[in-house]
Amino acid sequence: MFQSRFHSLNNLFNRYRRLAALILVPIGLLVSAFAIYDDIQSYTSENSSAYSVSRQMLSEALGGQITQNVFPEKIALPLSKGDDPAEYRVNYTLASDLQNHAEALLRRYKPDYGAIVMMDARTGEILAMTSFEKNNSENDDNLALKSGYPAASVFKVITAAAAVDKAGITPEHRIAFNGGNYTLYKKNVLSDNVNRWTRFITLKEAFAMSINTAFGRLTLESLEPEDLSEYARKFFFNKEIPSDFPVETSSIFVPDEKGYALAQVASGYNRFNTLSPVHGAMIASAIVNEGQIPAPYLVKSIENDQHEVIYSAQPQISGQAISAKSANKVKQMMEQTVLTGTSRKTFRRIVRERQFKEVEMGGKTGHFTGTNPRGRTDWFVGYASDEDSRIAIAAITVNVKYWTVKSSALSEMMFRRYFKNKLEEAKMLSDTDEHDGEAERPARKTARARKHRS
């Protein structure tokens, strides 16, 4: 009996041993293959003289001309180490109609300084980028890349993002504050006294109306200095922007302690927070793109003389600034800016027009007197989206004495042009389908008639 059990166990062991061999041997071979492949890749990377085109290479090759508002048709690139640079044709992401429209708007209204940047919020493709300088007939300075402008109340987007993402604040959170809407006095910011003049407002309303004291109180009550620093970095302040063209770094200084200076930073009530138009479009992109910040790029592809594509750009996400849930909350606040807030008059018509009923729009305005260039800075940073598209925009004007156009108006006109083009394309496709259908119907009747005669 014992011997019988031994033979049974032995047979069972042999059976599972063969099964284990069938499983483990292929796994071993696969692991060995990966190891060999890694060795080959390592050797190739160390000994090969060829390398691919990178965005950094393009930035270096294009930088001198893009900063002068020139988009060259060809650029010189060395595609192999040690080779002399050769010329290649550049295909840009710029949409010609949007680019021409942006240039025409700035020429029409002639602000002392102005810039418009529109980008695809999902991919980072720059759809339009132009600038204008009234007293510079050559227009040889690309103001869209400059970061000397005060960020002003656009920085409230960062403060709101930190409040909802870090502190768990909701758009309906109520804030008690004293004082005017657009001032920022120490006695009002630093005091938490509630008296008969105290007003209560939701975060969503404070954002839409850009109330400085409310944002100062929110920051002192719910955030720490390191929170603002953390979210400023997440939104690429004090960080190099990864792109295929050079953009000046936007700067911010956050004090180490709570106080009036922190309230100034949080509400954008100072000249030390600076922002470039390209960066402004990236911030709006993050909000409409579920918290993801796309890396902006201008070069779609590069071709040689035989029209062979040697470089094709691929969208890149630079980082997750805030969660998708938090981005949706900030988006609710930005929507109120155009519905009931500081841009309601500018966007009143477009939000009511039937053809734009499926388009969601939002934004943030900002105003402050800057020194580089000197004048009254006017910002609009925002987005527009429908079922298929998400676009972001940053428009800025700087006026020395008199303003000629609001940046929000420039943005509204750019949104109109983008979605008008889209609607026209959809109509053309619909008309083509109807025409094809009408052409098919007589053919079907003829076929049925022939079949009936037979």
pLDDT tier, 31 (very low <50, low <70, confident <90, very high otherwise)? very low
Tens digits of per-residue pLDDT, 326-375?
Answer: 999 999 999 999 999 999 999 999 999 999 999 999 999 999 999 989 99
Burial (0-12, 13-18, 19+ Cβ within 10 Å), 125: buried
For 339, residues 6+ apart whose C-beta sits below 8 A from its C-beta are 208, 347, 351
Radius of gyration of the chain (CA): 29
Average pLDDT, the chain: 87
How confident is the model at residue 440, as a pLDDT? 55
Asked whether the predicted pLDDT for residue 13 surpasses 60, the reply is no
pTM over 0.85? The answer is: no
Mean pLDDT of 399-417: 96
Q: Measuring CA to CA, which residue among 243, 292, 250, 291 is closest to residue 272?
A: 250
DSSP line for 123-158: T-BEEEEEEEETT-TT--S-GGG---EE-GGGGHHH
Distance CA 296, CA 236 (A): 12
Asked whether the predicted pLDDT for residue 240 surpasses 70, the reply is yes
Mean pLDDT of 421-438: 66
Asked whether the predicted pLDDT for residue 211 surpasses 90, the reply is yes
pLDDT tier, 439 (very low <50, low <70, confident <90, very high otherwise)? low
Q: What is the CATH number of domain 96-411?
A: 3.40.710.10
Distance CA 103, CA 144 (A): 12
Percent of the chain surpassing pLDDT 90: 75
Burial (0-12, 13-18, 19+ Cβ within 10 Å), 73: exposed
Cis upstream peptide for 373 (omega within 30°):
yes
Tens digits of per-residue pLDDT, 368-403?
Answer: 999 989 999 999 999 999 999 999 999 999 999 999
Q: Measuring CA to CA, which residue among 63, 251, 65 is closest to residue 148?
A: 251
Distance CA 114, CA 131 (A): 5
Mean pLDDT of 276-290: 98
Distance CA 49, CA 337 (A): 54
How confident is the model at residue 433, as a pLDDT? 56
Asked whether the predicted pLDDT for residue 2 surpasses 50, the reply is no
pLDDT tier, 18 (very low <50, low <70, confident <90, very high otherwise)? low
Q: Measuring CA to CA, which residue among 377, 389, 298, 393 is closest to residue 338?
A: 393
Amino acid at 419: F
Asked whether the predicted pLDDT for residue 435 surpasses 60, the reply is no
How confident is the model at residue 451, as a pLDDT? 46
DSSP 3-state of 262: helix
DSSP 3-state of 301: strand
Percent of the chain surpassing pLDDT 70: 81
Distance CA 32, CA 26 (A): 10
Tens digits of per-residue pLDDT, 32-47?
Answer: 444 433 443 433 333 3
Tens digits of per-residue pLDDT, 65-88?
Answer: 999 999 999 999 887 666 778 899
Kindly report which listed range (186-190, 200-204, 275-279, 448-452) carries the lowest average pLDDT score: 448-452
Identify the sign of the CA torsion 423, 426, 428, 434.
negative
Question: Nearest-5° angle of CA 286, CA 288, CA 290?
Answer: 70
Backbone angles phi, psi at 124, to 5 degrees: 95, 0
How confident is the model at residue 140, as a pLDDT? 85
- pLDDT top residue among 88 and 3: 88
Half-sphere exposure of 375 (CA within 13 A, CB side): 18
How confident is the model at residue 25, as a pLDDT? 46
Distance CA 231, CA 322 (A): 8
Tens digits of per-residue pLDDT, 284-298?
Answer: 999 999 999 999 999
Mean pLDDT of 10-20: 50
Which tokens hold the place of 83? 């080779």
Q: Measuring CA to CA, which residue among 320, 251, 330, 250 is closest to residue 288?
A: 330
Asked whether the predicted pLDDT for residue 260 surpasses 70, the reply is yes
Ramachandran region, residue 236 (left: φ > 0; alpha: ψ -120 to 50; beta: rest):
left
Asked whether the predicted pLDDT for residue 112 surpasses 60, the reply is yes
DSSP 3-state of 392: strand
